[in-house]
A = this chain, B = another copy of it.
Amino acid sequence: MKSTKELISILQDRVNHLAFKSQPAGLYEPLSYTMSLGGKRVRPLLCLMACNLFKEDVEAAIAPALGIELFHNFTLLHDDVMDRSFMRRGKPCVHVKWDENTAILSGDALQVVAYQYIAQAPAESLQACLDLFSTTALEVCEGQSYDMLFETQSKVGEEEYLEMIRLKTAVLLACGLKMGAIIAGASAEDAQHLYDFGIHIGIAFQIKDDLLDVWGDPAIFGKAIGGDIMCNKKTFLLINALKRVEGAQRDELLHYMTSNDIERSEKVKAVTALYESLRVREECEAKMNHHQALAMQALASLSVSEDKTFYLRELAESMMKRQM
């Protein structure tokens, strides 16, 4: 069995050697640029790790794993256009460096390239991999659609929010894991347990992200604290705060959400204090821990021996241990 480090090294080598056609440069240069921005490559890594649980040789899973990473980068490229973002991983977004039309069209091409890699799955699992991938790709679009809808929707429920992050984030992690299992010839039950592991780790990871925006260490988190608070993003924290807050505290929270002339540090400090007073941090952590436990339970249900799941457990823990 291969260590996480070995699989990362195999993967990184293949990501570094991804080559796109050269002409027209206006179509393909943004693809090389996007893929060179880096990222933790956690989705393809999960695919190889899942495959490696059942099979020593992971070669057959590498191209489909890259397909999932290419698709993930396609969604970031188009999401940045839709969200009017400027920077991605410390560099200008494609629609900023080039223009919006270039970002739309290059993204379209990147989605096709993703399918070209998925289509390299072994013949005996090709149909299953394609079905899983297309279903997942539509779900990711659905997640982005709900995310945009929630921006203008006055009330968002906790369940609606969890469903949105399941679609937008968790299903692609789960897809990578299940695809690795399918390619390795695992049983349908094991493939489903790995899928469930991915769903719960994805939801826990996204809740953690909401927590880090408020209580994270900016040096480690990689972005300024309070970004979600400043734009009134309906995170798990805000949704729960709005559910609980009453009286004068309610007026205070709504005041901070509707006034446009409040200084950043004041708003972040005040809303954080309200979150703490309302104990939404505890609620958020409880929900996160619940999904992490469900993830571990899914792993424990696998038919493989417990020591084989060591690397997946270790990766899940490292994903959740990002510094507060």
* A interface, CB within 8 angstroms of B: 21, 23-24, 26-27, 78, 81-82, 101, 104-105, 107-109, 111-113, 115-116, 119, 123, 126-127, 130-131, 134, 137-138, 141-142, 144-146, 148-149
How would you classify the secondary structure of chain A's contact residues: helix, strand, loop or mixed?
helix
Please pick, from B23, B107, B131, B138, the residue contacting A109 in the complex, using a CB distance under 8 A: B138
For A149, list chain B residues within 8 Å (CB).
Answer: 24, 26
User: Quick one: given A82-B101, A126-B127, A130-B119, are A26 and B148 in contact (CB under 8 Å)?
Assistant: yes
Contact check, A101 vs B148: say whether CB atoms are below 8 A apart.
yes
User: Which B-chain residue is minimally distant from A117 (CB atoms)?
Assistant: B134
Q: Specify which of B109, B123, B134, B141 is in contact with A119 (CB 8 Å cutoff).
A: B134
Q: What number of copies of this chain does the assembly contain?
A: 2
Q: How far is the CA of A109 from the CA of B135 in the complex (A)?
A: 10
Q: Are B78 and A141 in contact (CB under 8 A)?
A: no
Chain B residues whose C-beta falls within 8 Å of the C-beta of A27 in the assembled complex: 141-142, 145
Interface contact A24-B142, CB-CB below 8 Å = yes
Query: A109 to chain B: which residues have CB within 8 Å?
Result: 138, 141
Contacts of A23 in B (CB 8 A): 142
Contact across chains for B112 and A137 when beta carbons are under 8 A apart: yes
Q: Within the complex, which residue of B21, B78, B111 is in contact with A105, where a contact is CB–CB below 8 Å?
A: B78
